[in-house]
Amino acid sequence: MSNNNNNNNEEQDNNNDQDQDQPMIEQDDGDEEQDFEKLADYQLEQDDDDDDDGYDDQGDQDDQDNNQQQQQQQQDNGNQEDDDDDDDDDDDDNDNDGEKEGKEPHMRPSLLLARRKKTIHGTHSRNLIEKILRIKIQSHPYWKEKCMGLNEETLVDRAMALTSFGGTWGGMKQPTHFICLMLKMLQIQPDKDIIIEFITNQDFKYVRILGAFYLRLVGKPVDIYNYLEPLYNDYRSVRMKNDLGQFNKIHVDEFVQELLTGNYACEIVLPNLPSRRTLEQQGLLEKRVSVLEELKLINMDNLKQDVLE
């Protein structure tokens, strides 16, 4: 009896132990599953973090690439603008070169003045005065002090200050102030309107003589006759300096007659001038009517008939 009880107790204890062990195993399995789930979750989190980091790194790389592309684009734009500026500068330089070609190069005023002037009677205007006389004029104190900086405006003041006219005088053949101003006029070549103002000026007789002499040197035959013949009516006396340095009194109309009919005046050889009759036959000039005829003081037909008889 006692043995059976003992066996029953042992079986009961074994069953109890098995019952106790079973929950422990089940508990262990639950823990393992829980740990596995946690590990899996952790692994997923790590993978997510890695992915996020990868995305962040990729985003940073993309941002960096974008920044580099923007910088490269800005640099290219800047280079293009520089190229455009260079092209504009080149165009400006070309324009400036074109303007410089139109302009005269930098040179001394005397050379620049000589380059601007046109030829007279197939030669340079200064050659109308003989070289030896030009040398004497350019070495004279009056030329160096009073004529070097003259222009069309200041020349008038010098002409108004003249008190005589002539070519050269004395044993050294010194030039007069009149002939010095004539060389200066040949250099600067004033406009025709200025010369006409000189000739038509009635207040300063030496200004008129200076203009008439200049027109005789450089003017056309028709202009010479048209503007100098009216001076036949000017009977005012003027002083002419001779070779000895003395003054001779002559009249304006006498000097004009010398200019229109002679070949030499004031130490200068005058250019060839066709006769008035030749120009009349060519129809370039009308027949000249003197003041005496206009006043009906004489009759030219009767005079010609008297001469023929």
Q: Domain boundaries in the chain?
A: 117-271, 274-308
Strand partners, 264: 269
Residue 27 pLDDT class (50, 70, 90 cuts)? very low
Residue 203 pLDDT class (50, 70, 90 cuts)? very high
Name the residue among 120, 103, 190 with its Cα closest to residue 150: 190
DSSP 176: P
What pairing do the DSSP bridges indicate for beta strands 165-166 and 237-241? parallel
Name the residue among 188, 212, 170, 187 with its Cα closest to residue 134: 187
The mean pLDDT value for 180-195 works out to 92
Higher pLDDT, 53 or 213: 213
Q: 46-72 b/e with 16+ CB inside 10 Å = b?
A: eeeeeeeeeeeeeeeeeeeeeeeeeee
The mean pLDDT value for 299-304 works out to 66
For residue 64, give both structure tokens.
């960096």
Report the percent of the chain where pLDDT is more than 70: 54
pTM for this entry: 0.60
In this structure, the number of other CB atoms found within 10 A of the CB of residue 150 comes to 19
